[in-house]
A and B are shown apart, each in its own frame.
Chain A
Amino acid sequence: MPRFLGNILENLLGKPATVRYPFEKPEHVPGTRGEISFDMSKCDQCQDCERLCPSGAIEVDVEGKRIEWDPYRCIYCHLCVRSCMHEAITPLDNVQPPGYRLEKKVFEA
C-alpha cells in the first residue's frame, strides 16, 4: 500500500512527462542531426551527395551550379556531410519545423 501511495502522489504532483507543443518549444540537444547547409563556394558539383543520398533528397544541377535540397524527403542521416570531399556541407542543429507547403531549399553559387 505505501508503494501505491508514493506512485499516486508522484502522478498527482509531478510535472507532465510531455512537452506542451506548440506552447513550449522542445529543446534540441547539441549534436542533433538537423538541417544541412551547402557552401557553394566550396562545392565543385561532383554529385557524390546526390548519388549517395538514401532518400533522394538532393538534386544537383551541374550546368546551373545549383543544388536543391528537399527537407521533407531527407531522413537526416548526414551521410552527405560525411561523404563530401570538399567539406562543403555544414550540419546544423535545428530541425525543420512542420510546414504548409512542400518547399525545397535552393542553394546557388
Chain B
Amino acid sequence: MIPFGPQHPVLPEPIQLQFYVDEEKIVDVLPNIGYVHRGIERAMELNDYRRNIYLCERICGICNVIHGQTYARLIEKLTGTEVPIRARYLRTIWAEVARLQSHLLWLGLFAESIGFESLFMKIWRDREIVLELTEATNGHRIHMGTTVIGGVSKDLDERLRDRYLGDMDRLRKEVDDWGHVFVKDVAFREKTVGKGILPKKDAVHLGAVGPVIRGSGVPRDMRSNGYGVYGELDFEPVTHDGCDSYSRAMVRLDETYQSIDLVKRAIDQLSEGPLVEKNEGFPDGVAMVRSEQPRGECFYYGVGNGTIHLERCRIRTPTLPNIPPLLQMLIGHDVADIPTIVHSIDPCMSCTERVTYVEEAA
C-alpha cells in the first residue's frame, strides 16, 4: 500500500488516497477525507441570514463569487425577492470573470504538475489581467464581495466597461499564444491522452459534475438551465468525447474562450436599471438552488422558519461528487500518472468537507 497525501507537493489541500499497487499498476484506491472540517453549516444556522453571505464566500477562495451568488439566490427564493435585470447581468459578468481566473489557475497548475514550469509562469502572468480587472472593479483581487441579497453592491461605469472589453480581447490574444501547447505538445499528450479514463456510462452512474462529466461527452452544465441571464446569452455547454485527462483539460481551455465571449456578450447587452431590490420579510419554506462553479455543480438547500436564522442549510460543493469518479479513473494506471490524474478533477478539499466522522474506540 502506498499512501498519497494528506501532505503532498501536488496537492494544495489535504486528502489522503491509499493506493494498493501490483508493481507499478494501481489495483485499488481508498480515499480518506476530513482533515479540514470547519463546521460552516452549523455556523450558518446560528448566524443572522444576512451575515451568512460573507461566510459562504469564504467556503472556497477561488469560487467565492459563485458561492455568494448561489446563497443570495437561495435567500431570494425563500423570501420571494425579484432581482433587477441589471443586477442579474452584473452577477453573470462577475461569475464568468471568476470562472476565468479559476480556469487559468487550473491550467497553470496542470502545466506545472506535468513539468512545464515556464508555461505555468506564463499562464499565471496572464491571470493577472483578470485579477487586476477585479481589483479595478471593487479594490479586491480575489474576494469580490459584490453580491448582496436582492442584487449587487457595485456598478460598472462606462470607463470600466471599456476596460473589461479591452482586457478580454487582450486575454484572448494571450490564451491564443499558449493554448496551442495544450493541444499539440508531445510531452503534454503523452502524459494525458488515454490517462484517467472515465467512460461516459460510468461518469453518469457515479454522478460526476462539471468539466469531469463534460470531458466524458455528457453536455451537463447548470448554466444551461438559464439561471441569471445565461438563458439570454445563447449558452451551449462545451463537451469533449475523449473521456481522459486530455479531454478534461480541453474542456477547461475551451471554457476559457467561452467565458471571454460570455463576458463580452453580457457587457454588450447590459441595460440601465436599479442594482438592488430590497428584500422584505424573513426566509420561510424550503428551497433548493444549483449553479455551475468552475469545478462543477454547486448545490444549496435551505429551510427557513420565518425567523432571522435558517433552520438548515446544506451545501454540496463540486469536489465531493467528483471523488468516486476519481477513484474509478485511477485504477489500472501507473503510479507515475497519479499527480496528473488527481489534478485533472481540480480537487478543492477545503470546500468539500461538511461532516467529520469520529470513530470512538470501544
A residues lining the B interface (CB < 8 Å): 3, 7, 17, 28-29, 31-34, 51-55, 75-79, 82-83, 93, 95
Residues in A whose Cβ lies below 8 Å from that of B50? 52, 79, 83
Residues of B close to A33: CB separation below 8 A: 138-140, 145
6 residue pairs from A and B, CB less than 8 Å apart? A31-B139, A31-B154, A32-B139, A32-B140, A79-B51, A82-B153
Residues of A within 8 A of B51 (CB): 52-54, 79
Q: Which 8 pairs between the two chains have the least Cβ-Cβ distance?
A: A32-B139, A54-B54, A54-B51, A77-B54, A77-B145, A29-B136, A29-B139, A33-B139
Closest to B122 in A: A7
- Among residues of B, the one whose C-beta sits closest to the C-beta of A75 is B54
Q: Is the CB of A32 within 8 A of B125?
A: no
Interface size class of B (residues with CB under 8 A): 10 to 19
Indicate which residue in A7, A53, A75, A78 contacts B153 across the interface (CB closer than 8 Å): A78
Complex CA distance for A3 and B177, rounded to whole angstroms? 9
Q: Give Cα A70–Cα B124 distance, bound, in whole angstroms.
A: 34
In the complex, what's the smallest C-beta–C-beta distance from A57 to chain B, in angstroms? 12
Question: Contacts A17-B128, A31-B154: A54 and B140 contacting too (C-beta < 8 A)?
Answer: no
Contacts of A95 in B (CB 8 A): 139
Bound: A77/B52 CA distance, A: 12
Would you give the 0/1 interface string for B119-155, flagging 1 where the beta carbon is closer than 8 Å to chain A? 0001001001000000110111000010010000110
Bound CA–CA A35/B113 (angstroms): 40
Collect the chain A residues with CB atoms within 8 Å of residue B177's CB: 3
**Residues of chain B with a CB closer than 8 A to A93's CB:** 139
Closest A residue by C-beta to B143 = A75
Instruction: Evaluate whether A52 and B48 lie within 8 angstroms (CB atoms) in the complex, with A79-B54, A82-B148 already known.
Output: yes
Give CA–CA (A77, B154) in the complex, Å.
12
Check if A32 sits within 8 Å of B138, measured CB to CB.
Answer: yes
Structural contact, B54 and A34, CB atoms closer than 8 A: no
Contacts of A28 in B (CB 8 A): 139
A31 and B148 within 8 A (CB): no
Identity of the chain B residue whose Cβ is nearest the Cβ of A95 in the assembled complex? B139
Residues of A within 8 Å of B33, CB to CB, are none
The reply to whether B139 and A54 contact each other, CB–CB distance below 8 Å, is no
Chain A residue with Cβ nearest B146 = A33
| Residues of chain A within 8 A of B139, CB atoms compared | 28-29, 31-34, 93, 95
Query: B118: shortest Cβ distance to chain A, in Å?
Result: 9
Name the residue on B nearest A18 (C-beta). Answer: B128
5 new A-B contacts at CB < 8 Å, known A29-B139, A54-B55, A83-B50? A7-B122, A32-B138, A51-B48, A54-B54, A77-B54
- Minimal beta-carbon separation of B97 from chain A (angstroms): 16
What's the Cα separation between A31 and B136 when bound, in Å? 9
Of residues 158 through 196 on chain B, the ones whose CB sits less than 8 Å from some CB of chain A are: 177
Chain A residues within 8 Å of B54, by CB = 54-55, 75, 77, 79
Shortest CB-to-CB span from A108 to chain B, Å, is 26
For B153, the closest partner residue in chain A by CB is A82
User: From residue A51, how far is it (CB to closest CB) to chain B in Å?
Assistant: 7
